[in-house]
Structure 1
Amino acid sequence: MRKVISPEEAERRLQIIFPRAAFDTVFSSPLAAMAVAALIYVDAVCSADDAAETVRWARPTTVLWMSKAVLACDTDAERIAWSDAAAKGNRHVVALQQAWNIPFEPAYRDNSRETLRDETFKGWLTHNAIRNRPGLPKSSPLPMWSLLDSFASLFDPGMTDEEFKEAADQWRDQNLDPGTRLKAAFALNEEVHKHAVKVRLPNSNGATRTLAAGISSLIIKGIVETWALARLKLPVVLAISEPGDKVHLADDALLRKLGIKIDDKNVLPDVIIADIGSDPVHFWIIEAVATDGIVSEQRRGMLLDWAAKQNIKNDRCSFLTAFRSRNAAPARKRLKDLASGTWAWFADEPEYELAWYRIYV
């Protein structure tokens, strides 16, 4: 059986997995933390493929009847005994704890089950953190909930803080949709400013670039990891520039083949991506806007001048301005100033894109 985790530590980790600036607080509340601790305690953990009859399922009351005193009785035999008693009903739990000389002092009242079942568990279910027993109605009194093992593994008390944060990042990447991942990344960045932003480059054999912490870097992460893969046929990141004249280059051989020379004296955009799946190769010139710096008419002209010096023709260039959100102050202020024939993208709505161009009639 997995090691037992305290509700306090479970809550701390839940707030990193589901930062409250991006998720409903029921995902990381003290009740949610007790749910993690209780389900792990009774071994209600399974894989998505386990046959239902082989899974140890639990009721919401398994969580509500749990207490710190019970969690301290952590031998496998004690945990199985308490799990079996909870599966039978309240009086069996009371009797067992009397035998253990532990008063029955549940952490929550039974009327908390609706919040746990209809809000916390339902939300976790949409994010692949928990599994419910198939074929049972929502109101069934039978045990029907079990944590998915990949989620439960995030609560191994033996993990170091760095190991946990890395595992939490991997879990979010594998289980959350792109928009939800970006919201979580923004929320975590605001809570912990010291963390650098790692960007995985597409079609580069797993290569990454590490950018300074900040909103611009998170927008760039969304552009490279989400927008480019959805929008372009075969995207290759040629360069990423950061404040302070720091430029992250792609493969030098590819740059030479494309005839592009990049240095920190150029009028560089934030990101340059080549769609090498397009014939001829098409170049996307992108600005990530945390405060200002959109592709205005003036900026577009300057960037086309730079492209011409790299022997990139105008008709092979497209321009994107990327914002954190349509509700972000820079977007509200500057959308009206976008250059004609350019696009806009918003990190918190990654499936959509705005186009601004003249209609010819």
Structure 2
Amino acid sequence: MPSLLLIGLKEHDLRKPISQEEAERRLQLIFPRAAFDTVLSSPLAAMAVTALIHVDAVCSADDPADTVRWARPTTVLWMSPAALEHKAEEERVAWRTAAARGNKYVTALHESWGIPFQPSYRENSRETLRDETFKKWQAFGAIRRRPGAPTSSNQGNWSLLGDFADLFDPDLTDTEFRKSATRWRERHLDPGTRLKAAFALDREAAKHAVKVNLPNSNGATRTLAPGISSLIIKGVVETWSTTRLVKPVVLAISEPGDKVHLGEEVALQALGIKIDEQNVLPDVILADLGKDPVQFWIVEAVATDGVVTKERRKALLDWAAQQNIKDDRCSFLTAFRSRNDAPARRRLKDLASGTWAWFADEPDHELAWYQVSLSAGGE
């Protein structure tokens, strides 16, 4: 049975084709290279998207295997810009049929079109495509592999999953595409991987402000200046607080230049807390209204420096005392972008005892630093 043209498959309108250049641009926004292996968004990966859409090797996760058009690696390797110029549906079906039959049939089809057969990639690119790009795409839910196919098979075993192929609809505006890509990542990637992608994308688009969604606030947001610190704050407020705290409420967010964003003013008034630019303010002040008594979290976001040291902890407790907040109702968090970042490697040793650390690219974990009390008889 041919690999791509399955006997008995009902024809339908093919998806609109997309160029390799546009496919690569979109792949780099879906899988930004600062956060993902480049094989996910390489020119070869872009040609894979273009070629598989061109031959309609697209399916859903639950389509029966015998109803799917499966593509083989050579479907991608044999594609060329000249072949992609033949966009009529009958031409695309003809190319798909020839590619399923073999190299000589593709050559003959090109000759009938009056163009030379000049594949974009050599046969030795097959392993990179199959064992790296396709394998990583499969792990992220972007492509489907035919069940039971041998690992090293060169037959038709691969088909793009429909919701991933939807991201390459050429009719999508850039805004629509970016929103769709974000939704796709939310469905398919774990929180840590999504945050890595968000950091990478926001670094590339540093000219744009960082919008922070406040929890338990009926959709209220605060807009921060661009930068790594703002991205860390975004992670703390949107991800860490909603996982760690019972009912988190943002009381204040401060930025360089004495710019203070008040959070829930009703909560501030009810708690009797006054915040002004003269305060010794941390980057974020949160209250967990789900605790009785209310627990306050004082957070420092470290882009370069500024961890909660012993001295900083004391200064912040002094401020809390002025607000009639008792020491035992205060907890402290130092937030970093990553354990691998230089600020974390350099300053973790300076964390005050009785504080926590959190890393935006590992949002489901935190570190605690506190003095261990010896049990009776343990000396």
Say yes or no: TM over 0.5: yes
Matched, 1:311 2:331: no
Q: Alpha-carbon deviations, 1:26-56, whole Å to 9, x = none? A: 1111111100111111122223333333332
Larger mean Cα displacement after TM superposition, 313-322 or 145-154: 145-154
Q: Contact conserved, 2:40 with 2:137, CA < 8 A, in 1?
A: yes
Distance 1:233 1:39, change over 3 A: same
The corresponding residue for 1:349 is: 362
The corresponding residue for 1:15 is: 28
Picking from 203, 221, 239, the partner of 2:234 is 221
Q: Contact conserved, 2:52 with 2:159, CA < 8 A, in 1?
A: yes
Larger mean Cα displacement after TM superposition, 19-28 or 263-272: 263-272
Displacement of 1:288 after TM fit?
0.1
Matched, 1:25 2:38: yes
Matched, 1:119 2:132: yes
For residues 161-180 of structure 1, what are the structure 2 equivalents within 5 Å? 161-180=174-193
Q: Contact conserved, 2:249 with 2:264, CA < 8 A, in 1?
A: no
For residues 292-311 of structure 1, what are the structure 2 equivalents within 5 Å? 292-311=305-324
Q: 1:115 is matched by which residue type in structure 2?
A: T
Distance 1:50 1:215, change over 3 A: same
Q: 1:316 is matched by which residue type in structure 2?
A: R
Q: Alpha-carbon deviations, 1:251-291, whole Å to 9, x = none? A: 32233233333333322211122222223222211000111
Q: Contact conserved, 2:295 with 2:329, CA < 8 A, in 1?
A: yes
The corresponding residue for 2:49 is: 36
Larger mean Cα displacement after TM superposition, 112-121 or 324-333: 324-333
Displacement of 1:164 after TM fit?
2.8
Q: 2:136 is matched by which residue type in structure 1?
A: G
Q: Alignment partner of 1:140: what SS?
A: coil
Q: Distance in 1 between matches of 2:105 and 2:218?
A: 56
Q: Distance in 1 between matches of 2:60 and 2:219?
A: 27
Q: Alignment partner of 2:319: what SS?
A: helix
TM-score, reference length from structure 1: 0.92
Q: 2:269 is matched by which residue type in structure 1?
A: R
Q: Alignment partner of 1:284: what SS?
A: strand
The corresponding residue for 2:89 is: 76
Displacement of 1:71 after TM fit?
1.0
Larger mean Cα displacement after TM superposition, 16-25 or 169-178: 169-178
The corresponding residue for 2:246 is: 233
Q: Distance in 2 between matches of 1:170 and 1:351?
A: 20
Distance 1:236 1:50, change over 3 A: farther
Q: Distance in 2 between matches of 1:204 and 1:41?
A: 46
The corresponding residue for 1:256 is: 269
Give the root-mean-square deviation of aligned CA atoms.
Answer: 2.0
Distance 1:205 1:98, change over 3 A: farther
Q: Alpha-carbon deviations, 1:162-213, whole Å to 9, x = none? A: 3333333333233222222222223233333212222233333444332221
Q: Distance in 1 between matches of 2:20 and 2:342?
A: 39
Unaligned runs of 5+ in 2: 1-13, 375-379
TM-score, reference length from structure 2: 0.88
Q: Alignment partner of 2:239: what SS?
A: helix
The corresponding residue for 1:86 is: 99
Picking from 161, 167, 170, the partner of 1:148 is 161
The corresponding residue for 2:146 is: 133
The corresponding residue for 2:342 is: 329
Picking from 257, 267, 285, the partner of 1:272 is 285
For residues 101-120 of structure 1, what are the structure 2 equivalents within 5 Å? 101-120=114-133
* Length, aligned pairs only: 361
Displacement of 1:333 after TM fit?
2.4
Unaligned runs of 5+ in 1: none
The corresponding residue for 1:246 is: 259
Q: 1:178 is matched by which residue type in structure 2?
A: P
Distance 1:356 1:191, change over 3 A: same
Distance 1:84 1:237, change over 3 A: farther
Distance 1:280 1:80, change over 3 A: farther
Q: Alignment partner of 1:233: what SS?
A: coil
Higher radius of gyration, 1 or 2: 2
The corresponding residue for 2:372 is: 359
Q: Distance in 2 between matches of 1:85 and 1:232?
A: 59
Displacement of 1:355 after TM fit?
1.2
Q: Contact conserved, 2:73 with 2:154, CA < 8 A, in 1?
A: no
Q: Alignment partner of 1:273: what SS?
A: strand
Picking from 200, 217, 238, the partner of 1:187 is 200
